[in-house]
Homo-oligomer: A and B are copies of this chain.
Amino acid sequence: MTRFSLAQTPIDTATLRAQLLDDRVGGYASFEGWVRNHNDGRNVLGLRYEAYAALAEAEGAKVLDEALQKFAILDVRCVHRIGDLAIGELAVWVGVSAAHRDAAFAACRYVIDEVKARVPIWKHERYAEGDAGWLHPEA
């Protein structure tokens, strides 16, 4: 079972969520990043995610292992889309199950923050004005 995955095709969150069902779970927290129609004041038409797949999968798995160590959770999963995405499509999903909600929320937040900061995935945006570019945010 792989806790972190890259997906070339749309993500089915209902199935992912169902994989975390367990009689011991009291709290389930999830986060989804969707493609917005704007970013930094510019109109976005669509975007593409590219990954260094081997390292992204290893680093993503490491983030989830850390979450399991740091927080009193039962399980955690994360899937990140790669390839071309339209406005409104799901880019990333995080799901966390725990006995109590404190740990579920904290771990969910940890995972999305660390994935965004560390996992080698890059976003390429196309703008309404016709130009496009890779996003390489300042740390």
A: residues with CB less than 8 A from B are 13-14, 17, 21-34, 36-38, 87-88, 99, 101, 104-105, 108-109, 112
Residues of B within 8 A of A88 (CB): 21-23, 25
Contact between chains at B34 and A27 (CB < 8 Å): yes
Q: How many subunits of this chain does the assembly comprise?
A: 2
Q: CB < 8 Å: which of B87, B99, B105 contacts A105?
A: B105
Closest to A23 in B: B37
Query: Complex Cα distance A105/B110, Å?
Result: 11
With both chains docked as a complex, state the minimum distance between the C-beta of A49 and any C-beta of chain B, in angstroms.
Answer: 14
With A13-B17, A105-B105, A105-B109 given, is the CB distance from A28 to B23 under 8 Å? no
Q: In the assembled complex, which residues on chain B have CB atoms less than 8 Å from the CB atom of A34?
A: 21, 25-28
Q: Which of B28, B37, B38 contacts A32 (CB 8 A)?
A: B28
Bound together, the chains give a CA A36 to CA B87 distance in angstroms of 37
Q: Is the Cβ of A31 less than 8 Å from the Cβ of B112?
A: no
Closest residue on chain B to residue A99 by CB atoms: B36
Compute how far the CA of A104 lies from the CA of B112 in the bound complex, rounded to whole angstroms.
Answer: 13
Cβ-neighbour of A29 out of B17, B30, B87 (below 8 A): B30
When distances are taken between beta carbons in the complex, the residues of chain B under 8 Å from A112 are 101
